[in-house]
Amino acid sequence: MITAFAPATVANLNCGFDVLGLAIDKPGDEVSVAFNDLGAVRIVEIEGDGGKLPYEVARNTAGIAVHSLWKHLQMEKGVDIVIRKKMPFGSGLGSSAASAVAAAVAANALFGNPLTKRELLDFAIDGEAVASGARHADNVAPSLLGGIVLLRSYQPQIDLLQLPVPNNLYCTVIYPKVEILTKEARNILPEKIPLKDAIQQTGNLAGCVAALYQNDLALLGRSLVDVLAEPYRAPLIPEFQRVRQAALYGGALAFGISGSGPSMFALSDGAAKSAQIAGLMEKTLNNKQIDCQIFNSKVNVEGAKVITNYELRITNNF
């Protein structure tokens, strides 16, 4: 039996609406796979989903990712899948992407690693698409590859690039326990936007990319502004402005909506500052009696990986 871990991700990163995503160290999902003698892919166990996820392979993100890879490689032996959800659904942290990615990485390892990580992307996207309703890669790609990933284009094929990650960049994520569906958060956006907003967004994204290459955290902070989605989505999120104020007061470089929300994220420089920011953000929601979960970690530059039995024990104990 082989187990892989795939990290949660913060898509969009404000100015990178639909084109940027970043992996965080925790939380993340685990998927284990083993050969069976049935000549078919099946899901044998799902933990941590509160009974919400389907066991039917064709309707499950991890199931589809494994099946799609299994079929592509024309494997004869079947595969049993165990899914351990370790992160909330509908949180804006790329939960379905993490399951699909962990599944693809685990299955690839089980099959003897015939494909590179980059080559697994399409199979993970196959899986994630069943949950999100669209073939997007802004969660899948960073969860798979780690770091900060730019999805330049999907046409004629996916053109992606891993951007440099400043050494001490931390990401604090707070998840207020309300559900926002990606589809609804997308429908709230206007189909047309002012040209001047598009220009502002392009300038900021270009500044963000340059800042990453130049390791210029001040420029990164100035550039991480979202004029396209945030004005529409922020009102859906409890206490968005208050949490923002708290994060910035704590010294955050930038603050925004993770994916389509309701999770919010803050970037900062170093462990100490991120811990301080985490405390302030959490206190803000606690003061308003809003149930929340907080995740504080370095940006994950490794991406999904097969974990050893030792790592598995560690992960499951904490």
Catalog residues that contact its own copies under the rule CB under 8 A.
Answer: 15-20, 150-153, 159, 161, 163, 189-195, 197-210, 213, 219, 222-223, 228
Residue 153 Cβ, how far from its own copies at the closest point, in Å?
6
Q: State which residue, 103 or 211, has the beta carbon closest to its own copies.
A: 211
Residue 64 Cβ, how far from its own copies at the closest point, in Å?
25
> In the annotation, is 182 catalytic?
yes
Coil, strand or helix at 120: helix
CA distance 283 to 56: 41
Q: State which H helix or E strand residue 307 sits in.
A: strand 305-307
Q: State which residue, 37 or 191, has the beta carbon closest to its own copies.
A: 191
**For residue 122, which of 78, 76, 64, 79 has the smallest C-alpha distance?**
64
**For residue 73, which of 38, 110, 103 has the smallest C-alpha distance?**
110
> In the annotation, is 45 catalytic?
no
Q: State which residue, 161 or 314, has the beta carbon closest to its own copies.
A: 161
> Of these residues, 3, 9, 61, 182, which one is catalytic?
182
Residue 226 Cβ, how far from its own copies at the closest point, in Å?
11
Q: Which residue has the tokens 């392979």?
A: 57
Q: State which H helix or E strand residue 127 sits in.
A: helix 121-132
Q: State which residue, 21 or 27, has the beta carbon closest to its own copies.
A: 21
Residue 246 Cβ, how far from its own copies at the closest point, in Å?
23
Burial bucket for residue 58 (CB in 10 Å: 0-12, 13-18, 19+): exposed
> Of these residues, 3, 9, 128, 284, which one is catalytic?
128
Whether residue 10 contacts residue 173, with contact meaning beta carbons closer than 8 Å, is answered with yes
Coil, strand or helix at 316: helix
Residues annotated as part of the active site:
128, 182
